[in-house]
Amino acid sequence: MPQAQDIEPRLLRAFVAVAAELHFTRAAARLFVAQQALSRDIRRLERELDAELFVRTTRHVTLTTDGERLLPYARRILDAHDELTAAFADTDRPLLVDIGAPVGTGHRVLTETRRAATEPEFVARYLSGLTGAAAELLAGRLDVSFGRIAGLDPALRADLAHQPVRYERMAVLLRDDHPLAPLTEVPLDALAGETLYAGAGNTATAEWTDLAARLFAGRGIAMAAPFPEINGQEEFVRVVRKRGWSVLASTEFLEIPGMVVRPLVDPVPLSPVSLVWRRGLKHPGLDALRAAAAALTAGERWLEVPPGSWLPEADRSLMPDNT
C-alpha cells in the first residue's frame, strides 16, 4: 500500500463524499463534478491502494471493511490539507456573508461586527435560504451564512461548522384586514383552517419549509402550494400582496405595506439560527463575526428557551440546552 502523501487529496475527497452519501450521483453533485469523473477517481484510488473500498449494486452502495478502515485516515488527511491551505489563504480579501435579508439575526450580527471591526471588509449577500447557501459555501463562492443547521442533509453538515446564535420567535404575516390582525399575539390553534406560505417550491429554503411542515402537522394548518423561488425583497412584497398570502415568518421581518406581523403563541414556536461556515475556513473576518455573534447571544439572551416553547428534537440535539 502506498504512503498517504502519495495519494492525491482529490481522490480522498471523492472517497469521503461517496462514503458520506453512499450514492455516486449525490456525491458527484456535492463535489460539483461529473459522475463519470467521480467513478474514475474512486477506481484509481482503489488501484493505488490495491483494495476494494465500496460494494456496488444497482440499488445500494456500502463501504467494505477496507473502506471503513480508510475513512478516518482520509478525513484526518483532508482536515490537515484544508488547514494547510487555510494557513496560506488570502485573508486580506473581503469576507462574503449571506444574511438572507436586511432584517433579522444575520443582519444584526453583521451590523455589530462592522461596528466593532473596521477591517477586514465584509460583503453582504442576500440568498433566500441556508439550503441554497450551503452549496455556495462548499464550493467556496460564499464564506458564511445563517440558518437552521438541522434542516440540512447530514452529509452536507459534515463539511460545515456552525455556532448556535439564536432562537428566533416565529410569527405570522397577515393582511391588515385579516380577522386575526387585531390580536397582539396569535395562538397557533387560531390558525387551524388557514393556509400559510412557507417557501414550498423554493429548494433554496427547504430547511424552512421542513420546519413549517413539522409545526403545521396535526394542527389543521395547510401549506400553500409550491411556488417558484422569489428573488429580491421588492418581488417578494409584490407576490405576497398580489396573492393575498398569510406567511409563516419570524418576528423580525420585512415591512410589507398593508400587512402586519404577529408573534405566535401557545406554544411559542422557535426557529433556531446558527452562524454557518465551511469547515477549515480561516479568516480574521470569521473570527470577528463569531465574536460579535457570541456577544449578542449572551447580551440579549438569544439562546434562552421560554417554558412551553415548540422546537423539533432534531434541532434541540444540535443547539445548546438553555431551557
What are the tens digits of pLDDT across the range 186-197?
A: 999 999 999 999
Q: Is the pLDDT reported for residue 83 higher than 80?
A: no
Give a yes or no: residue 321 inside a domain: no
Residue 166 near residue 122, CB atoms below 8 Å: no
Scanning the chain, the segments in alpha helix (DSSP H) are 9-21, 24-31, 35-49, 65-87, 105-116, 130-139, 154-157, 206-216, 233-243, 284-299, 313-316
251 lies in the same domain as 305: no
Count Cβ atoms below 10 Å from residue 303 Cβ, excluding itself.
18
156 lies in the same domain as 105: yes
Contacts 24+ apart (CB under 8 A), 88-93: 89/282, 89/283, 91/120, 91/282, 91/283, 91/284, 92/120, 93/120
Decide which of 57, 87, 117 is a domain's last residue: 87
Q: How many domains does the chain have?
A: 3
On average, the pLDDT of the chain sits at 90
Q: Is the pLDDT reported for residue 258 higher than 50?
A: yes
20 lies in the same domain as 78: yes
Q: Give pLDDT, residue 138.
A: 87
Give a yes or no: residue 153 inside a domain: yes
pLDDT band at 133 (very low <50, low <70, confident <90, very high): very high
Give a yes or no: residue 303 inside a domain: yes
Instruction: Tell whether pTM > 0.85.
Output: no
Q: Which domain holds residue 152?
A: 95-167+272-316
29 lies in the same domain as 156: no
Q: Is the pLDDT reported for residue 30 higher than 90?
A: no
107 lies in the same domain as 229: no
State the residue for C-alpha cell 412557507.
Answer: 198
No. of helices (H) and no. of strands (E), the chain: 11, 12
By three-state DSSP, how is residue 130 classified? helix
Give a yes or no: residue 193 inside a domain: yes
pLDDT band at 229 (very low <50, low <70, confident <90, very high): confident
118 lies in the same domain as 140: yes
Give a yes or no: residue 322 inside a domain: no
Cα separation, 209 vs 205, whole angstroms: 7
Give a yes or no: residue 74 inside a domain: yes
pLDDT band at 86 (very low <50, low <70, confident <90, very high): low
Q: Give pLDDT, residue 158.
A: 82
By three-state DSSP, how is residue 159 classified? coil
257 lies in the same domain as 282: no
25 lies in the same domain as 81: yes
Percent of the chain with pLDDT over 90: 65
Whichever domain contains 70, its CATH number is 1.10.10.10
Residue 260 near residue 181, CB atoms below 8 Å: yes
pLDDT in tens, 164-223: 999 999 999 999 999 999 999 999 999 999 999 999 999 999 999 999 999 999 999 999
182 lies in the same domain as 257: yes
Give a yes or no: residue 294 inside a domain: yes
119 lies in the same domain as 146: yes
Residue-by-residue DSSP string for 37-70: HHHHHHHHHHHHHTS--EEE-SS-EEE-HHHHHH
The residues near 118 (Cβ < 8 Å, ≥ 6 apart) are none
Count Cβ atoms below 10 Å from residue 210 Cβ, excluding itself.
19
Q: Is the pLDDT reported for residue 300 higher than 50?
A: yes
pLDDT band at 66 (very low <50, low <70, confident <90, very high): very high
Q: What is the dihedral of CA 185, 187, 188, 194, to 10 degrees?
A: -80
Residue 288 near residue 116, CB atoms below 8 Å: yes
182 lies in the same domain as 260: yes
Q: Give pLDDT, residue 323.
A: 43
Give a yes or no: residue 81 inside a domain: yes
Report CA-CA distances (Å) from 239 to 35, 90, 102, 137, 236. 38, 41, 19, 29, 5
Whichever domain contains 300, its CATH number is 3.40.190.10
173 lies in the same domain as 221: yes
Decide which of 87, 108, 141 is a domain's last residue: 87
Q: Is the model more confident about 67 or about 4?
A: 67
State the residue for C-alpha cell 450514492.
Answer: 23
Decide which of 67, 87, 107 is a domain's last residue: 87
